[in-house]
Amino acid sequence: MPLEEKERIIIPDESGEEHLFEVLFTFDVDETEQSYMVVVPVEQAEAEEQEVYAFRFEEPNGNEDDLTLFQIESEEEWDMVEEMLATFAGDDEEES
């Protein structure tokens, strides 16, 4: 059974140092026409405890190689991301 290849993305921090993340999932919100991405540091991808990060993102002209990430600042957006995380975690547990 082949291992599913996970999408990975490099995200620079405030000091410009690049970090490799594994994309857990992305989702779109039709009402706001916004897209979101939930990622985990690659070194934590298989760990029991993971530090998860979420961003709103845009793909200029639909080009997924040229993503622009935005920090999530509103409580409404965080609530939505947390709800999607709970759904994602529930799906994961059912597959195990």
Q: Report DSSP letters for the chain, one per residue.
A: -PPPPPPEEEEE-TTS-EEEEEEEEEEEETTTTEEEEEEEEGGGTTSSS---EEEEEE-GGG-TTS-EEEE--SHHHHHHHHHHHHHHHHHHHHH-
Mean pLDDT for 26-54 is 91
Q: State yes or no: pLDDT of 91 exceeds 60.
A: yes
In 3D space, the residue among 7, 4, 11, 8 whose CA is nearest the CA of residue 68 turns out to be: 11
Q: What is the pTM of this model?
A: 0.80
Mean pLDDT, the chain, whole residue set: 86
